[in-house]
Structure 1
């Protein structure tokens, strides 16, 4: 990656600096007549350094770290990028100007170390920290303090050897001592810097396959030219080694392109979980409350099934009133509705026989009246649960840019109370995602309910075609054509299946019909429409096709 970035960015100038997410900063560097967004991520799970083409949105108020980077690095020249031996630290060397116009050498260091990952801006001559993306005080780390103004102390050095400076005799000894590939891989990982276990396994296999095994070690390391996503033990991983074709899922022109593809969904999902935590909590809380309510209503409805028993007991008491004595706590009477089978009826001594009969009739009337109310409440609650499950599904499929629409919808429906400033601002619904079918026909996709309503009811022409996964939460998809080809219909159906809760299924039913047949009932929730006269296609979601068609 360092070689790739040096080749592309060396001698470039920093044009813009942004921090779209708490642990990630993007420097837009102008080099070779192009702008390259360089991502430095100190994310605890997805820490990395790469050129990214993924879209991002800046927060309305820049962070203190962003402001400090802008002060020192905007307009600075990138001299070189270097890795500290083969460790997980990369230093970007810049030269800028101070207030007096004198040259100011700076280092922007990224440490890729899991939850300890960090991005640190350092004054090179004074070896002082200007600022860090994550502040680490002495109470968190006694070895070194990562705070503005502190002396910069490098991360503790591992007791490992740089593999690019390896002693071949030592490699030979390891090969002789540990012939088993997995044990050898573990020893290589323990001995040399910067080796993941899969990389160590690859090296072990490579060495065993060559006659002069130890001398093959530098050749194996020099083979770091193949940006690939591979499938290892049923899990996707990425590598720069040349794995057998049978294991390769996808190959890329550069490591940056590979990382964009590999982390796009993972990082987006994680960002959505972080940024949408409040929305997710609101939906989960309301979903849990409505599910409990529905369970209680079902129990009450089951209890109303006894209503007929109360009516029959009331009628039997009325018929045989002359046999009932006020001193009785129970009486057994023949049930003429069931072949005169005896029925035991509980009585209250505080009531007259006639009042006991009336008590059963009142219970019967109360339960019968309750049925209509419970069924109505049950219907509303089921609709509420379906709506919230739909929102939950949309968040699972959302990108960070979709969250403001979902937040606005939750506020509009009364689930969420926005801050006064946000309430006063009129929310502008984001544009639907755009795709282009193989024959050039445009396809639009709503990523949430507000987008779905706007797309299906306002943007789409009456003669356009509408698609939606059958009986499951999903996006509204519009084909902007009155006579789409069969190929376009199938492609649009695959898009609809992909942007739905059935994304992982193999055979997904997708309904399609012309927009003019859609209808939104008065007072219906956002995104809810009814239709009839649809046809159905069965497709398998295809992520590779989706990427190809996306505009």
Structure 2
């Protein structure tokens, strides 16, 4: 599962065949550590994704749509200045290392031809994307600036001389001609796991999984040279494979590795990476861009959960309210037995067959004042019960609201975060940095709900956050259409755009409602459905909150394959 040097060897060939001689037509930086170059080559546009993400660093052609920020970054502007209209002349790999060089020819402001290198280093948290002028080998800019305080070996700053990463003393497997050392490793390390570790220290560009696959291949028989060459020749004619290992682990490889099963083959390495990284990279982008939102929601949940515990504790203390009333009434009945200066007295409790009850008294107050004191305490606690119950209900609603927001962030695409941020700003949970600007405040546009198509061709709409949910249910949907939502579970509003949907469509829409909810990974999720005319929004409630009646309930288990199928049907419609 590593984007290692050997995998990059295969990817370089794929990219060169598709992109070489192409022209850069567009440059965008949708996410902080990722650059997308749209390259027109062989009559087709290709989106080349260059990622320096610490977790998902890679280079590929992607079909996954992205949303650009309202204002381009400085790095994106510099890339546009130097690379817009440039021709991609070559793609080279630095030996079998995790470094790719994209060579471009372009024109500067004076019309003179320039040669530029866009260098992508895929090295986990040290990954970077750097633009270098080939004429003087000076750095024009890098997506991550690295100063001398971080790296003493080399600077990655504008104007600095570009220096390659420290050269490895390991052997390039694609140019290796002698195999005596590999034979010796097999003798020294008969155990496959230990051999794999030794191979990583000998051969360049081997991730852990590739080293293990090579070790297993070498163990087949004594023909070391043949097995070694056969293994690496497969990187020149890849069969992109997604392997399911165990219950939850999935691995992507350039070809099927030994001892893997449930393999899925893809037409290209880029398609393979899209399938593997689609959800993983999106979750990472959401965490990165929604960090402030996540922090606000966690803070509000912690505050309200603590408040709820305190309120319940206070409510529990009011359960003794009747005891104060009874003591006050008994004191009033037997005032003639009470003398000023007493600190306590035992009197018959006529509520419990005249059993004696001990009552504490204040020696500074008269008998009548002592009785009134108990009545006042009773009234105070009685009033507190009503107040506490109201506060408990309001606090529980706040917790439900923020649990819903938390669930929406977990399920959100990066573009959905804009709506969630706006909602939190409107609720004064998050400071609106735009409100103090002098320019006229414009009404923000809410993103559209996500579209799906059922197997019988019916359109299904899914709101991805509270603002989308409210607009979808209360404004977009026809009163005769069908509305769905998980029962008593935070989730999306789902609308079937049909007055008389089939049972199959209702079940598929229920699957969407369950999938886009907090119960995404659960089984037998209850989903309510009813006509939109039965939905009502109480005055003063938060966005997305509705009540409904005349519902029916389905039990469904969220099926990601079905969700993908319904999504793909929309794209091809």
Which TM-score band applies after superposition, normalised by the shorter structure?
A: over 0.9
- Bigger shift: residues 140-149 or 224-233: 224-233
Shift of 1:425: 2.1
Aligned counterpart, 1:53: 63
Of 172, 186, 206, the match for 2:217 = 206
Shift of 1:213: 3.5
Aligned counterparts of 2:67 and 2:448: Cα–Cα separation in 1? 14
- Bigger shift: residues 438-447 or 365-374: 365-374
- Bigger shift: residues 338-347 or 121-130: 338-347
- Bigger shift: residues 54-63 or 181-190: 54-63
Shift of 1:245: 8.9
Shift of the 347–250 alpha-carbon distance from structure 1 to 2, 3 Å rule, reads farther
| 1:542 counterpart = 2:559 | yes
Aligned counterparts of 1:80 and 1:343: Cα–Cα separation in 2? 97
| 1:183 counterpart = 2:200 | no
Aligned counterpart, 1:195: 206
| 1:338 counterpart = 2:349 | no
Aligned pairs for 1:464-479 within 5 A: 464-479=481-496
| 1:169 counterpart = 2:180 | yes
Q: TM-score, normalised by structure 1?
A: 0.97
The two structures, once aligned, show a CA RMSD in angstroms of: 1.6
Aligned counterpart, 1:228: 241
Aligned counterpart, 2:313: 299
User: Aligned pairs, how many?
Assistant: 551
What are the Cα deviations for residues 191-225 of structure 1, in whole angstroms up to 9, with x where unaligned?
Answer: 11111111111111222224523321111122231
Aligned counterpart, 1:256: 270
Aligned counterparts of 1:395 and 1:245: Cα–Cα separation in 2? 38
Q: Which of structure 1's runs of 4+ aligned residues deviate more than 3 A?
A: 243-246
Aligned pairs for 1:66-81 within 5 A: 66-81=76-91
Structure 1 residues not aligned, in runs of 5+: none
Shift of the 294–252 alpha-carbon distance from structure 1 to 2, 3 Å rule, reads same
What are the Cα deviations for residues 223-257 of structure 1, in whole angstroms up to 9, with x where unaligned?
Answer: 23122222234422211231469633633211111
Aligned pairs for 1:78-477 within 5 A: 78-166=88-176, 167-210=178-221, 212-224=223-235, 225-234=238-247, 235-243=249-257, 247-248=261-262, 250-419=264-433, 420=435, 421=437, 424-477=441-494
| 1:513/1:534 contact within 8 Å kept | yes
Aligned counterparts of 1:277 and 1:20: Cα–Cα separation in 2? 17
Aligned counterparts of 1:154 and 1:407: Cα–Cα separation in 2? 42
| 1:168/1:215 contact within 8 Å kept | no
Structure 2 residues not aligned, in runs of 5+: 1-10
Aligned counterparts of 2:486 and 2:225: Cα–Cα separation in 1? 57
What are the Cα deviations for residues 10-37 of structure 1, in whole angstroms up to 9, with x where unaligned?
Answer: 1100001111111111111001111111
Aligned counterparts of 1:423 and 1:300: Cα–Cα separation in 2? 48
- Bigger shift: residues 172-181 or 21-30: 172-181
Aligned counterparts of 1:53 and 1:318: Cα–Cα separation in 2? 84
What are the Cα deviations for residues 498-531 of structure 1, in whole angstroms up to 9, with x where unaligned?
Answer: 1000111122111111111111111121111111
Q: TM-score, normalised by structure 2?
A: 0.93
